[in-house]
């Protein structure tokens, strides 16, 4: 009985989401980019590192759909391969920041004694704009792909902690939580089985939007020379290289930037749709 | 109200104290020996020892922090390891460009964002509304550095209307300000639309309409002044983030603001400059948030802080 009610809750959400055309457009964009990245070795028309100096800075054509770069490498093929890096970076940062942020948020919301301590720490982190915080972290750790991911994770954690904490605060005094507490159930079981499932909606919405934000931030760091380094076909790094050739070969920077924009747009559209589907009241 | 201001000021001091610890620890968190990391592996032992003294690393940790805090309180942000200039001087020289850029972009973002958001709300569920919603989401999703290159390509290279880079007077800030304001405009449009949709439903709007108010007066005299309150707050709160966004925009447009100063300092691992910059930004960010909160209570009489 309980299980079927649970199923109908989620299938209701799925139906609402499927009816939302813009959310579906976002999902399709993401699906296309994910498939493109996964199948990059198969569908890329040229090897990713293949240089061809006769074809240097060639404009988009039937042989090179999106043109070539300063080494004559095919931009389309590099974009497909670069998608693996950008999407994976986004995935890793979202998984890490969700895990850490949700854990800290639940602890802060549930244990009043630790609340002040955790939130004071978050206030300090939030006293810096996220991008600046990420840059400060890179200043300490040094530039590079892994450090850029750590920087982005640290920069986005406070937003999770705030959202999760306030969600926990709103349900910790509810009767059903009091009831399980009265039954003598251990705290960690209450947190995992009774609190976490009830605060999943804001976490899902936030993670979807943060996926895009993380990709955007990581690309910005790469563009500033603080994240992925050329010749890696990471999208932000590709725009950075293309910047020097803007007057001769606009396609070198415009297409990778467009890829970043489309993926982030996909996550934002899907995130908006999920928010409406998970909480029909806010429509 | 006064009690609230005092409370906020105390909490602001607490946060800044926390930030000072964080910034102080930045040098100590550098993996390995900071002096060697900053100078590179080929530095002579004498140079490394000099750098350790310059960074104050030869003293006990607490003593280093007390010294650091004492200097911060007297407005001494240290000296650059590379230029030997005072960090405070560097920031003061470069801050006006960043400030102009931020103000300029907030203006652009507010004008376009509020206008588009209002139009979308009035034309709710029409093609115009959908277009504005999509456009604002595109603005939020597009990387700033990409918008910058796109604008340079069209307006500086193709149409030759603006300088490609550098500062040649206020007009050279237009493209950077548009770049910086794009995401902000998207957010403002979304928020104005949502807020306006709430206001449109209110009884006083229906009353005004029934009394024969024209559409223009309905929107601009009755609707917008009420819808705009949360928008103004958001604009203020985003002001600090805009200055951080200036890091990217100033780099692309080769503007000598504090954003590009931060990037130069990081690439040279000029830690005192990085630390000073981060502290300065945190201070500006905290002060803007405080001012926005106080203005908020002024423009919305429903809000009482005590």
Q: Which residue has the higher pLDDT, B299 or B45?
A: B45
Model ipTM? 0.87
Q: How far apart are CA A217 and CA A238, in angstroms?
A: 15
Q: Do A127 and B19 touch (CB under 8 A)?
A: yes
Q: Do B149 and A140 touch (CB under 8 A)?
A: no
Helix (H) or strand (E) holding A111: none
Residue A281 above 70 pLDDT? no
Of chain A, the percentage scoring pLDDT greater than 70 comes to: 96
Mean pLDDT over A59-81 rounds to: 91
Residue B56 above 50 pLDDT? yes
Looking at beta carbons, which residues of chain B come within 8 Å of A272?
137
Mean pLDDT over A40-48 rounds to: 88
pLDDT band at A135; cut points 50, 70, 90: confident
CA torsion A264-A266-A268-A274 (nearest 10°) is -150
Q: How far apart are CA B291 and CA B9, in angstroms?
A: 11
Round to the nearest angstrom and report the end-to-end CA distance of chain B.
Answer: 6
Mean pLDDT over A174-198 rounds to: 90
Check residue A133 and give its pLDDT.
87
Residue B43 above 60 pLDDT? yes
Residue A244 above 80 pLDDT? yes
Q: How far apart are CA A257 and CA A243, in angstroms?
A: 11
pLDDT band at A4; cut points 50, 70, 90: low
Q: How far apart are CA A274 and CA A211, in angstroms?
A: 14
**Rg (alpha carbons) of chain A, rounded to whole number:** 22
* Residue ranges with strand state E in B104-250: none
Residue keyed to tokens 């949360």: B230
Instruction: Convert the pLDDT of each residue in A141-183 to its tens digit.
Output: 888 999 999 999 999 999 999 999 999 998 888 888 889 989 9
Of chain B, the percentage scoring pLDDT greater than 70 comes to: 97
The 8-class DSSP code of residue B59 comes to S
pLDDT band at B94; cut points 50, 70, 90: very high
Residue B51 above 90 pLDDT? no
Query: How far B74 CA sits from the closest chain A CA (Å)?
Result: 21
A131 dihedral zone (left: phi>0; alpha: psi -120 to 50; beta): alpha
Mean pLDDT over A242-261 rounds to: 93
Q: How far apart are CA A217 and CA A134, in angstroms?
A: 8
Query: Distance of CA B47 to CAs A150, B51, B210, B296, Å?
Result: 31, 6, 81, 53
pLDDT band at A7; cut points 50, 70, 90: low
Q: Which of A112-121, A144-153, B287-296 has the highest mean pLDDT?
A: A144-153
Check residue A3 and give its pLDDT.
60
Please identify among residues 202-241 of chain A the ones whose CB lies closer than 8 Å to any CB of chain B. Answer: 212, 216, 219-220, 223-226, 236, 239-240
Check residue A283 and give its pLDDT.
43
Q: Is the pTM of this model over 0.80?
A: yes
Check residue B305 and give its pLDDT.
55
Q: How far apart are CA A9 and CA B124, in angstroms?
A: 29
B251 touches A at CB < 8 Å: yes
Mean pLDDT (chain B, rounded):
86
Check residue B119 and give its pLDDT.
94
Closest by Cβ to A247, choosing from B157, B245, B281: B157
Check residue B63 and give its pLDDT.
87
How far, in whole angstroms, is CA B243 from its chain's centroid?
Answer: 3
Cβ proximity of B136 and B185 under 8 Å: yes
Instruction: Convert the pLDDT of each residue in B226-274 to its tens digit.
Output: 888 888 888 887 887 787 788 889 989 989 999 889 888 888 878 888 8
Residue B170 above 80 pLDDT? no
Closest by Cβ to B241, choosing from A129, A135, A224: A129
Looking at beta carbons, which residues of chain B come within 8 Å of A141?
30-31
Of chain B, the percentage scoring pLDDT greater than 90 comes to: 29
Closest by Cβ to A269, choosing from B137, B150, B152: B137
Domain boundaries, chain A: 20-44+63-278
Minimal CA–CA distance to B141: which of A147, A61, A25, A81? A25
Instruction: Convert the pLDDT of each residue in B204-213 to its tens digit.
Output: 888 988 898 8
Closest by Cβ to A124, choosing from B18, B29, B138: B18
Tokens of B259: 């954003």
Instruction: Convert the pLDDT of each residue in A209-220 to its tens digit.
Output: 999 999 999 999
| Residues in CB range of A178: below 8 A, 6 or more apart | none
Closest chain B residue to A239 measured between Cα atoms? B146
pLDDT band at B176; cut points 50, 70, 90: very high
A184 dihedral zone (left: phi>0; alpha: psi -120 to 50; beta): left
Domains (range + CATH), chain B = 2-73 (no CATH), 87-299 (1.10.3720.10)
Q: How far apart are CA B17 and CA B15, in angstroms?
A: 5
Q: Do B252 and A127 touch (CB under 8 A)?
A: no
Cis peptide leading into residue A231 (ω within 30°): yes
Check residue B234 and give its pLDDT.
84
Residue B49 above 80 pLDDT? yes
Q: Which residue has the higher pLDDT, A118 or B291?
A: A118
Mean pLDDT over A59-65 rounds to: 88
Query: Distance of CA A253 to CAs A52, A234, A257, Å?
Result: 19, 12, 6
Check residue A270 and give its pLDDT.
94
Mean pLDDT over A7-33 rounds to: 88
Q: Which residue has the higher pLDDT, A129 or B249?
A: B249
Please identify among residues 87-126 of chain A the ones whose CB lies closer than 8 Å to any CB of chain B. Answer: 120-121, 123-124
CATH class of A20-44+63-278: mainly alpha
Check residue A1 and give its pLDDT.
45
Looking at beta carbons, which residues of chain B come within 8 Å of A152?
none
């Amino acid at each position: 009985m309980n299980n079927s009610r649970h199923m109908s809750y989620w299938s209701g959400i799925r139906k609402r989401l499927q009816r939302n055309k813009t959310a579906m457009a976002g999902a399709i964009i993401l699906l296309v980019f994910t498939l493109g990245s996964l199948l990059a070795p198969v569908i890329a028309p040229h090897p990713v590192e293949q240089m061809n100096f006769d074809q240097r800075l060639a404009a988009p054509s039937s042989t090179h759909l999106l043109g070539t770069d300063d080494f004559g490498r095919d931009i389309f093929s590099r974009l497909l391969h670069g998608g693996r890096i950008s999407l994976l970076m986004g995935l890793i940062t979202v998984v890490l920041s969700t895990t850490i942020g949700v854990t800290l948020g639940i602890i802060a919301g549930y244990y009043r004694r630790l609340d002040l301590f955790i939130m004071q720490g978050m206030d300090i982190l939030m006293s810096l704009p996220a991008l600046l915080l990420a840059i400060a972290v890179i200043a300490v750790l040094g530039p590079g792909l892994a450090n850029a991911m750590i920087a982005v994770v640290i920069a986005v954690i406070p937003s999770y902690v705030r959202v999760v904490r306030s969600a926990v605060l709103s349900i910790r005094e509810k009767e059903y939580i009091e009831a399980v507490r009265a039954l003598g159930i251990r705290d960690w079981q209450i947190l995992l089985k009774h609190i976490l499932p009830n605060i999943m909606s804001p976490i899902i919405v936030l993670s979807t939007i943060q996926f895009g934000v993380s990709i955007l931030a990581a690309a910005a760091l790469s563009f500033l020379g603080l994240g992925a380094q050329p010749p890696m076909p990471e999208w932000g790094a590709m725009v950075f290289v293309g910047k020097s050739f803007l007057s001769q070969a606009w396609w070198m920077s415009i297409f990778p930037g467009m890829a970043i924009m489309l993926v982030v747009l996909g996550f934002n559209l899907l995130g908006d749709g999920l928010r409406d589907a998970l909480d029909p009241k806010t429509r | 109200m006064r009690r609230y201001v005092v409370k906020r000021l105390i909490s602001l001091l607490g946060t800044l104290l926390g930030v000072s610890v964080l910034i102080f620890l930045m040098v100590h968190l550098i993996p390995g020996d900071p002096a060697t990391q900053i100078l590179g592996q080929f530095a002579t032992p004498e140079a490394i020892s000099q750098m350790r003294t310059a960074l104050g690393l030869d003293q006990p940790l607490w003593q280093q922090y007390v010294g650091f805090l004492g200097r911060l309180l007297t407005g001494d942000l240290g000296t650059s390891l590379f230029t030997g200039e005072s960090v405070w001087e560097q920031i003061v020289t470069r801050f006006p460009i960043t400030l102009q850029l931020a103000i300029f972009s907030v203006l652009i973002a507010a004008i376009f964002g509020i206008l588009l958001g209002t139009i979308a709300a009035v034309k709710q569920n029409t093609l115009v509304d959908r277009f504005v919603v999509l456009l604002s989401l595109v603005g939020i999703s597009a990387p700033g550095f990409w918008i910058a290159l796109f604008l340079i390509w069209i307006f500086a290279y193709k149409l030759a209307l603006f300088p490609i880079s550098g500062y040649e007077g206020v007009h050279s800030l237009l493209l950077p300000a548009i770049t910086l304001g794009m995401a902000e405009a998207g957010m403002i449009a979304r928020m104005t639309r949502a807020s306006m949709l709430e206001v449109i439903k209110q009884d006083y709007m229906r009353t005004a309409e029934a009394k024969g108010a024209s559409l223009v007066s309905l929107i601009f005299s009755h609707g917008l002044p009420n819808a705009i309150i949360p928008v103004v707050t958001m604009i203020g709160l985003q002001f600090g983030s805009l200055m951080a966004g200036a890091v990217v925009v100033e780099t692309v447009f080769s503007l000598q603001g504090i954003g590009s100063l931060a990037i130069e300092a990081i690439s040279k691992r000029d830690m005192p400059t990085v630390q000073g910059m981060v502290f300065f930004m945190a201070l500006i960010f905290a002060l803007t948030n405080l001012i926005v909160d106080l203005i908020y209570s002024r423009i919305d009489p429903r809000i009482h802080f005590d």
